[in-house]
Amino acid sequence: MKFPITGGCLCGAVKYEIHAAPIGAGNCHCRSCQKSVGTAYMPVLFVPYEALKITGTYKEYATRSDSGNTMNRGFCAECGSSLFGRNSGSDKIRPVNAATLDDPSIYHPHMDFWVSDAQPWDFMNPDLPKFDKNPKHL
């Protein structure tokens, strides 16, 4: 994998670079992710917290997670693209919306999680491990 990994929003106002190897990758089927991206799941690339460098002005929307932590969802204030997040319960990893990568073909999910909220019309890869909620290793 070549670094930095780059990405950004639809209009180009917000860009980011990832300067370290991702910690993991998975498809989140929770209702908050569904509503934030407007589809069945969010493809999430988990990166080391300090490895994500952001340029441009973005806004955050805070939601309460099942664990009671606050999930701050970062999005472009101009075009509304859902980009990345911050969880108050961890200063180790940042979730990045893999659909916003400049080269999304590098995304290879290792799991489906929050499948307890998955939509019945969503077809999931049967070869990926499934977790009803968050996997314990994240």
The CA distance from 21 to 93, in Å, is: 11
pTM of the model: 0.94
β-bridge mates for residue 78, sequence order: none
The domain of 62 spans 5-119
For the stretch 5-25, pLDDT in tens is 999 999 999 999 999 999 999
Q: Each residue of 39-81: pLDDT tens digit?
A: 999 999 999 999 999 999 999 999 998 888 999 999 999 999 9
Q: What is the CATH number of the domain that holds 22?
A: 2.170.150.70
In a domain, 137, yes or no: no
> Tell me, what DSSP letter sits at residue 35?
H
- Please name which of 58, 81, 55, 84 lies closest in space to residue 71, comparing C-alpha atoms: 84
- How far apart are the C-alpha atoms of 34 and 99, rounded to whole Å? 14
Domain count, the chain: 1
101 found inside a domain = yes
The pLDDT tens digits of the residues spanning 91-107 come to 999 999 999 999 999 99
Decide if 6 contacts 15 (C-beta within 8 A): yes
